[in-house]
Amino acid sequence: MSLFFRIVIIGFIFFITATPSFSETENYCHDRTAAGEWEALVKKNPNDLELQRLHALRLGICEKIEASKSIKFQPSTALKGKL
């Protein structure tokens, strides 16, 4: 596992656990800043498979929320405590 991936995961876990003020109605899939940051990361690190997988997971969850295929927005917010 690359050092960069470890830093991203640790930062993500810290952000999730240290921020109890998450709103259950805020859809982070519409956050253009976050989307831009993810795009920059995957372009900068095309060979980091762990990062590519995380990006694909984010895109997939957002796609399912937007298309209302098999996951609704409200239940999907429960995932934040399990990642």
User: What does pTM read for this prediction?
Assistant: 0.54
**Please, which pLDDT band fits residue 61 given cuts at 50, 70 and 90?**
confident
Angstrom distance (rounded) from CA 56 to CA 8 = 15
**pLDDT of amino acid 60:** 87
Average pLDDT of the segment spanning 57-63: 87
Q: Give the helix/strand (H/E) hosting 64.
A: helix 49-67
Considering all CA atoms of the chain, what is the largest pairwise distance in Å, rounded to the nearest integer?
Answer: 36
CA 74/CA 63 separation, integer angstroms: 14
C-alpha–C-alpha distance, residues 42 and 80, integer Å: 22
Which pLDDT belongs to residue 4? 79
pLDDT top residue among 53 and 15: 53
pLDDT, one tens digit per residue, over 18-50 is 555 544 556 778 888 988 999 999 999 999 999
